[in-house]
Amino acid sequence: SQQGEEDPQALSIQEGENATMNCSYKTSINNLQWYRQNSGRGLVHLILIRSNEREKHSGRLRVTLDTSKKSSSLLITASRAADTASYFCATVDYGNNRLAFGKGNQVVVIP
């Protein structure tokens, strides 16, 4: 089942601005992962946050996780044209071995 749902679906920003996207899920999770996909290419892993973590940073990326609200956010600071891509969250339910992806957020960074 498709568990992760990102919001908003499409975002257009100027270079240098911050981009924030959200993901909600329905069940208990072990961790939540964010991936980036450049047009038509394979997904690339960005960051993983475990269920007992609330915030994690990696370079210009900041991820938060609120297990009480079953939601996560991905913040990209000081965006660059190269950040133009689709961003997906993914979760694995406890009790099965299936990784479920959201429908993705398309982010366009205008130079």
Partner 1 sequence: EAQVTQNPRYLITVTGKKLTVTCSQNMNHEYMSWYRQDPGLGLRQIYYSMNVEVTDKGDVPEGYKVSRKEKRNFPLILESPSPNQTSLYFCASSLGTPYNEQFFGPGTRLTVL
Per rule CB under 8 A, is residue 25 in the interface with partner 1? no
Per rule CB under 8 A, is residue 11 in the interface with partner 1? no
Per rule CB under 8 A, is residue 42 in the interface with partner 1? yes
Among 31, 64, 77, 106, binds partner 1 (CB under 8 A): 31
Number of other CB atoms surrounding residue 27 within 10 Å: 14
> What is d(CA 95, CA 51) in angstroms, rounded to the nearest whole number?
15
Q: What DSSP designation does 4 have?
A: -
52 neighbors 67 (Cβ within 8 angstroms): no
Measured CA angle at 43 (ends 98, 89), to 5 deg: 55
Q: Please name every residue paired with 23 in a beta bridge, in sequence order, or none if there are none.
A: 6, 72
Per rule CB under 8 A, is residue 59 in the interface with partner 1? no
Number of other CB atoms surrounding residue 91 within 10 Å: 24
CB of 37 to partner 1, least distance (A): 9
* Residues numbered 69-108 forming contacts with partner 1, rule: CB under 8 A: 88, 90, 92, 97-104
Of 2 and 12, the one with the shorter C-beta distance to partner 1 is 2
Contacts with partner 1 by CB under 8 A lie at: 1-2, 30-31, 33, 35, 40-45, 48, 88, 90, 92, 97-104
